[in-house]
Amino acid sequence: MTEPCFSSIFADPPHRDFTGGESRKLVIQIPCLNEAATLAITLAALPRHVAGFSHVEWLVIDDGSTDATVRVARDAGVDHIVSHPTNRGLAVAFMTGLEAALAVGADVIVNTDADNQYAGSDIPLLTQPIIDRAADMVIGARPIDETAHFSLVKKKLQRLGSWAVRVASKTDIADAPSGFRAMTREAALRLNVFGGYTYTLETIIQAGLSDLKVISVEIHTNPDLRPSRLIHSIPNYIRRSIGTIFHVFLIYRPLVLFVWTGAILISIGLGASARFLYLLLSGDGEGHVQSVVLAALSLILGALMLVMAMIADLISVNRKISEQILLRIRRLERNLETRNAKVEKQHDTTPRH
């Protein structure tokens, strides 16, 4: 048997031409947690044929469900089911789905929700820009203003989250929290999610900072079948949203976060110092020691923020190097799997005498 050429294994794969005549596989993945009541409705709306693909397969990620989710998936003819023994969270389920989709040879992966929020008929809208080589990742933009079951607070927070992602990722995404999205195999290989709450914001930022083309397309949504699992209450949603946005800037744009924080604190310190000096020169400096204390505290904290900015920027560089190493390992694993599958296929088809 010929030994594998490791120089070709490690080589970056060329950009695939989805307009060609080669066999292309689309995998539609659905993370699930106790979705027996809605999963059948969602699956019934999913396409089995999408323009530009010779194979369309369904993948369900069972995130520790305790109801009949798996049985419903099997009865509906789902091609692949991956189960977590316990509930690990939506972000982990999403990443498990990507790994499983890549393992079965997906060229393009579409992620959707099990509550039938997104219209399955809109999947071609997500995949067409990828087929046309106009995008590496496509995010479905919901009609948020026209969605009746979204409260005013939720609509405002959705816009705030999308703004934070646009700033952090240098993309122009209209609805960053949308889970309805399509991505190429190469984009999926590059993604890593560190938080356990949600994957939506981090993955867009990683794709944008990895020089992948990320765009939005307008989609439709279906009436609400059940309350959101991620939003237990408005205060909880506000807390988690603000925490997620801060987390995003802390990991991906630390220099911006700490420099601006430091600049604001230093400005406050300089303003307090100028006020005290003005009062002192005017003969009214007594009794305004609090300005001196405020100035000193603000200047010290501002200087610390600038030092933290430099340290965080160095850590960010190290993270990027680690991501590149992980990407190369993933490519190596996938290429070896493909080679082994071809060898096994050749072995099975070789005539025995």
Q: Judge whether 72 and 39 are in contact, CB under 8 Å.
A: yes
Compute CA distances 252 → 163, 209, 214, 238, 326, whole Å. 15, 9, 17, 21, 17
Confidence class for position 176, pLDDT limits 50, 70, 90: confident
What is the pLDDT, as a whole number, of residue 336?
Answer: 78
Best-predicted range by mean pLDDT (44-53, 266-275, 341-350): 44-53
- pLDDT > 60? residue 6: no
Within 8 A by CB and 6+ apart from 305, the residues are: 258, 259, 261, 262, 265
H/E segment holding residue 74: helix 69-75
More confident residue, 210 or 128: 128
Tell me the β-bridge partners of 60.
30, 81
**Any idea what DSSP says for residue 223?**
P
H/E segment holding residue 60: strand 55-63
Report d(CA 247, CA 260) in Å as an integer.
16
The string of pLDDT tens digits covering residues 20-58 is 446 899 999 999 999 999 999 999 999 999 999 999 999
Report d(CA 295, CA 276) in Å as an integer.
9
* Residue labelled with tokens 């972000």: 91
The string of pLDDT tens digits covering residues 69-87 is 999 999 999 999 999 999 9
What is the pLDDT, as a whole number, of residue 110?
Answer: 97
More confident residue, 126 or 152: 126
Tell me the β-bridge partners of 182.
110, 138
Report d(CA 228, CA 116) in Å as an integer.
12
What is the pLDDT, as a whole number, of residue 252?
Answer: 75
The closest alpha carbon to 100, from 195, 133, 92, belongs to 92
Q: What is the mean pLDDT of residues 254-281?
A: 88
Q: What is the mean pLDDT of residues 275-304?
A: 83
Report d(CA 91, CA 319) in Å as an integer.
19
Report d(CA 245, CA 253) in Å as an integer.
11
Confidence class for position 4, pLDDT limits 50, 70, 90: very low
pTM of the model as a whole: 0.73
